[in-house]
Amino acid sequence: MRVLILGGDGYLGWPTAMRFSGQGHEVCVVDNFARRRWVEDAGSNSLTPIASLDERIKAWKEVSGKEISSSVGDIAEGTFLADVVQEFEPEAIIHYGEQPSAPWSMKSVDHAVTTQENNVIGSLKLLWAMREHVPEAHLVKLGTMGEYGTPNIDIEEGFIEIEHNGRKDTLPFPKVPGSLYHLSKVHDSHNIHFACRVWGLRATDLNQGVVYGIETPETKLDDRLLTRFDYDELFGTALNRFAVQAVIGHPLTVYGNGGQTRGFLNIVDTLQCISITAENPPAEGEFRVFNQFTEVFNVAELAEKVRHAAGELGVDVQVDHVSNPRFELEEHYYNPTHTKLLELGLQPTLLSETLIESMLGVIKDHQDRVIQDVIDPVTQWRPSPLNEPAA
Amino acid sequence: MRVLILGGDGYLGWPTAMRFSGQGHEVCVVDNFARRRWVEDAGSNSLTPIASLDERIKAWKEVSGKEISSSVGDIAEGTFLADVVQEFEPEAIIHYGEQPSAPWSMKSVDHAVTTQENNVIGSLKLLWAMREHVPEAHLVKLGTMGEYGTPNIDIEEGFIEIEHNGRKDTLPFPKVPGSLYHLSKVHDSHNIHFACRVWGLRATDLNQGVVYGIETPETKLDDRLLTRFDYDELFGTALNRFAVQAVIGHPLTVYGNGGQTRGFLNIVDTLQCISITAENPPAEGEFRVFNQFTEVFNVAELAEKVRHAAGELGVDVQVDHVSNPRFELEEHYYNPTHTKLLELGLQPTLLSETLIESMLGVIKDHQDRVIQDVIDPVTQWRPSPLNEPAA
């Protein structure tokens, strides 16, 4: 299968590229290195020292004997992406090529505009390129569980049957996303749904939970194959950030009371989910939504798990409840369905103390690279002290 | 009240500017004349000969003694809009400044991208400018009934209470829009909802039906105050287009069987709704949605009404059922709620035979301006013959 991976130089994109290549698929990676630039512009870095894309591809060839091709450019600019799609003729397109940080999107009007322009227009151009050149291809789009927000009812996978005034319909699950980044993903989902309904494209929208983990079987093969690992306030996600904080002796930064509950999954399960999804494409015109996570935790629980695992290694960790920079409920109902990937064969890798200890060990190897002053939350969701969100 | 009108040179924008100015409000019009350019680029024109914005403003001063100020620029570009907002300090912002045509958005990837970029990024910049400079101002945003699509349940005004697995929540009404233009409005609605929830802005999202009519009390005062009137396949809407077709002896172009049912309103009721909305602002942080139309018709009924009215004037009109260029259901349930504007005092101007006859009369005065070859539908929703939409 010819697999095009947009954002294939990123945290998940690069391991995904190696996974498909290792399975014998023909892989082409597209990236414009925006993530590397954004992290550098924020004064931060990847905890893991990462090779350039060219070096990665060369190392992968040495290690596996397999070729990955690449095309460097911006998917939202001109006809770059359409040209790549026309030439490579992918059968599956894995789309990670978006600005992925909620706080980054909330920093300023320019950050907000860049996020929605890059994400929405990039995906819209992809849909149009598929319509013109590969209408049979399968789009595997990375969305986020954050599209749903935290409604007071069970979250279904993309669609919900609504009974109203004696009539019924099955409609898209209503979205109440929590940042301008999350909104960009909601916009994408609506556009992709349209492209399936009207143009007959086929797509799977993966509403992914928060990903944690630093290694996959492929990244362990050679130091040049490491994937990036972010720990700063902008690009670091909850568990990854806590693990780095624990290693360097920084108090764990729990936002508010830490009752915010979210779906989580291990990076190795992301790879599993993407493979399973690509192996089971939807029908022509079908728009599928899978909720992609394996476990639900609240932030305070996660911090406690990290504190405990670090304690087992003899490291004493403090948990700080810092003023919440985001606008979100800290106590809420949360019960999202996530059966579709399990039905297709996903074998969850659950979060264990052993796993956290192993993460802490790898982080320790690189701890001298940590830039301390990008860790504490600075980016505020709101311009000035306003009221707390209503419960 | 200081009222900023984005898109104030357009079909609805210009009459709205005169209405608020006539009521004694301080009005500033923003436009970049994109609509004039898009119509010209399509080889079409306004049926009514329209004066330039400067000429309009001068004529309005002569006729009413009142000043309207203006600022020419693109709301999606740079800091133009933020600068205008900072300087004018509006208390109400009426936002018509969007690409308003569904078929135009479906013509090509460039038209699609321009539509979503202009509409979504323009509105996002507006929200950010409000947050920074006028957080107390009231945003009156023109949305469309087309955001909802044609679900098999009653359409509520923006939000619906959903009972699911024994729990309840009131959530945004799910959207299944029918074009990339309609999608841009759905994206706007989600962004505006967020800005109210998180930044405490106040906004009313007016999901407007199809507007018809050629005159308002203000446009009749002087020929230089006429508003534009489009009749082509891109910018002409159903009743307006049919009325022109009737006058020039062109068969009425009903798409498919004409069972497509929509909400409609007279242009004078648009002005009434906007005024009522502005006079009754929402609370801080409140995001209101009003469904703005007065009557529901299907397209075949509308054509029949025009045919009948023309017949009364001695004109014999033929109705053609042309192959539907759009992707939409031609038979469907449609029962949208529209009580909120009525509760605030809207007095509907219903569609009468007299009104159609009067429209036909005005059109007759300008019929020599009609460009014949922009009338028939050319823009297709789908790239090639695909299946019909499922019922």
Specify which residues B199 forms β-bridges with: none
pLDDT of residue A390: 41
DSSP A246: H
Do the Cβ atoms of B132 and A383 come within 8 Å?
Answer: yes
Do the Cβ atoms of A186 and B190 come within 8 Å?
Answer: yes
Chain A / chain B CB contacts < 8 angstroms: 156
Q: What is the tens place of the pLDDT at every residue in B188-237?
A: 999 999 999 999 999 999 999 999 999 999 999 999 999 999 999 999 99
- Report which of A107, A178, A179, A105 is spatially closest to residue A383, judged by C-alpha positions: A107
Using CA atoms, how far apart are residues B323 and A325, in angstroms rounded to an integer?
A: 54
- Report which of A255, A238, A386 is spatially closest to residue A324, judged by C-alpha positions: A255
Judge whether B61 is closer than 8 Å to chain A, CB to CB: no
**Does residue A1 sit in helix, strand or coil?**
coil
State yes or no: pLDDT of A51 exceeds 50: yes
CB nearest A174 (choices: B172, B191, B194): B172
Residue with tokens 């397109």: A93
Residues of A in contact with B152 (CB under 8 A): 167-169
C-alpha separations of A53 from A62, A154, A231, B95 in Å = 14, 41, 21, 45
Percentage of chain B lying above the pLDDT 70 cut: 98
Residue B237 falls in the annotated catalytic set: no
Q: What is the tens place of the pLDDT at every residue in A221-230?
A: 999 999 999 9
Using CA atoms, how far apart are residues A142 and A290, in angstroms rounded to an integer?
A: 10
Residues of A in contact with B154 (CB under 8 A): 164-165, 167
A194-219: average pLDDT: 97
pLDDT of residue B135: 98
Q: Is B187 exposed, middle or buried (0-12, 13-18, 19+ CB in 10 A)?
A: buried
pLDDT of residue A96: 98
The whole-angstrom distance between B150's CA and the closest CA on chain A is 10
State yes or no: pLDDT of B388 exceeds 50: no
CB nearest B187 (choices: A112, A162, A187): A187
Using CA atoms, how far apart are residues B197 and B195, in angstroms rounded to an integer?
A: 6
The crossing angle, in degrees rounded to 10, of helices A299-312 and A353-365 is 70
Residues of A in contact with B333 (CB under 8 A): 167
CB nearest B116 (choices: A121, A176, A383): A121
Residues of B in contact with A193 (CB under 8 A): 176
Apex A317 CA angle, A315 and A322, nearest 5: 160
- Report which of B179, B330, B334, B317 is spatially closest to residue B258, judged by C-alpha positions: B330
The whole-angstrom distance between A155's CA and the closest CA on chain B is 9
Judge whether B128 is closer than 8 Å to chain A, CB to CB: yes
Percentage of chain B lying above the pLDDT 90 cut: 98
Mean pLDDT of chain B: 96
Q: What end-to-end distance do the CA atoms of chain B give, in Å? A: 48
CB nearest B383 (choices: A116, A120, A199): A199
Q: Is A367 exposed, middle or buried (0-12, 13-18, 19+ CB in 10 A)?
A: middle
**pLDDT band at residue B117 using 50, 70 and 90 as cut-offs:** very high
Apex B195 CA angle, B193 and B199, nearest 5: 135
Residues of B in contact with A327 (CB under 8 A): 197-198
State yes or no: pLDDT of A386 exceeds 70: no
Using CA atoms, how far apart are residues B226 and B228, in angstroms rounded to an integer?
A: 7
pLDDT of residue B129: 98
Do the Cβ atoms of B176 and A174 come within 8 Å?
Answer: no
Residue with tokens 């892989």: A27
Residue of B nearest to A123 (CA): B113
Do the Cβ atoms of B117 and A121 come within 8 Å?
Answer: yes
Element (H, E) at A320: strand A319-322
Q: What is the tens place of the pLDDT at every residue in B131-185?
A: 999 999 999 999 999 999 999 999 999 999 999 999 999 999 999 999 999 999 9
Residue of A nearest to B159 (CA): A174
pLDDT of residue B385: 55
The crossing angle, in degrees rounded to 10, of helices B109-116 and A122-133 is 160
- Report which of B108, B182, B382 is spatially closest to residue A284, judged by C-alpha positions: B382
**Does residue A29 sit in helix, strand or coil?**
strand
Contact B386, B272 (CB under 8 A): no
Do the Cβ atoms of B200 and A175 come within 8 Å?
Answer: no
Helix ranges (DSSP H) in chain B? 13-22, 34-41, 53-64, 80-88, 102-105, 109-116, 122-133, 180-199, 238-248, 267-279, 299-312, 340-343, 353-365
Q: What is the tens place of the pLDDT at every residue in A267-318?
A: 999 999 999 999 999 999 999 999 999 999 999 999 999 999 999 999 999 9
State yes or no: pLDDT of B391 exceeds 80: no
Beta carbons within 10 angstroms of residue B333's beta carbon: 14
Using CA atoms, how far apart are residues B277 and B97, in angstroms rounded to an integer?
A: 18
B11, B148, B181, B231: the active-site residue: B181
Residues 212-271 of B with CB under 8 A from A: none
Specify which residues A139 forms β-bridges with: A93, A203
Quote the tokens at residue A285: 């015109």
- Report which of B182, B383, B324 is spatially closest to residue A136, judged by C-alpha positions: B383
**pLDDT band at residue A385 using 50, 70 and 90 as cut-offs:** low
Residue B334 falls in the annotated catalytic set: no
CB nearest A125 (choices: B109, B131, B191): B109
A197 Cβ contact partners less than 8 Å away, ≥ 6 residues apart: A285, A287, B176, B327, B389
The whole-angstrom distance between B192's CA and the closest CA on chain A is 10
Apex A8 CA angle, A7 and A14, nearest 5: 135
State yes or no: pLDDT of B389 exceeds 80: no
Contact B125, B80 (CB under 8 A): no
Mean pLDDT of chain A: 96
Which residues in chain B belong to E strands, given as ranges?
2-6, 26-31, 68-72, 92-95, 138-144, 159-164, 167-172, 202-208, 210-212, 252-255, 261-266, 287-292, 295-298, 319-322
A198-208: average pLDDT: 98
Rg (CA), chain A: 20
Contact B197, B67 (CB under 8 A): no
State yes or no: pLDDT of A389 exceeds 70: no
Q: What is the tens place of the pLDDT at every residue in A120-150?
A: 999 999 999 999 999 999 999 999 999 999 9
Judge whether A78 is closer than 8 Å to chain B, CB to CB: no
Quote the tokens at residue B156: 């509520």
Using CA atoms, how far apart are residues B162 and A162, in angstroms rounded to an integer?
A: 7
Using CA atoms, how far apart are residues A110 and B219, in angstroms rounded to an integer?
A: 40
Residue A150 falls in the annotated catalytic set: no
Quote the tokens at residue B191: 């962004």
CB nearest B174 (choices: A154, A165, A171): A171
Residue of A nearest to B167 (CA): A153
State yes or no: pLDDT of A349 exceeds 60: yes
**Does residue B345 sit in helix, strand or coil?**
coil
Residues 141-180 of B with CB under 8 A from A: 151-154, 160, 162-165, 167-169, 171-178, 180
Using CA atoms, how far apart are residues B134 and B84, in angstroms rounded to an integer?
A: 11
Do the Cβ atoms of B124 and A112 come within 8 Å?
Answer: yes
Judge whether B194 is closer than 8 Å to chain A, CB to CB: yes
**Count of helices and strands (H, E) across chain A:** 13, 14
CB nearest B113 (choices: A125, A163, A180): A125
Using CA atoms, how far apart are residues B205 and B287, in angstroms rounded to an integer?
A: 7
ipTM of the complex: 0.96
Residue of B nearest to A109 (CA): B128
How many CA atoms within 13 Å lie on the side-chain side of A175? 31
**pLDDT band at residue A383 using 50, 70 and 90 as cut-offs:** confident
Residue of A nearest to B162 (CA): A162
Using CA atoms, how far apart are residues A47 and A27, in angstroms rounded to an integer?
A: 27
CB nearest B171 (choices: A174, A178, A327): A174
Residues 330-349 of B with CB under 8 A from A: 333
Judge whether B133 is closer than 8 Å to chain A, CB to CB: no
A322-341: average pLDDT: 97
Pairing of strands A2-6, A138-144: unpaired
Q: What is the tens place of the pLDDT at every residue in B46-81?
A: 999 999 999 999 999 999 999 999 999 999 999 999
pLDDT of residue B383: 87
Beta carbons within 10 angstroms of residue A69's beta carbon: 13
Residues of A in contact with B180 (CB under 8 A): 124, 191, 194
Judge whether B29 is closer than 8 Å to chain A, CB to CB: no
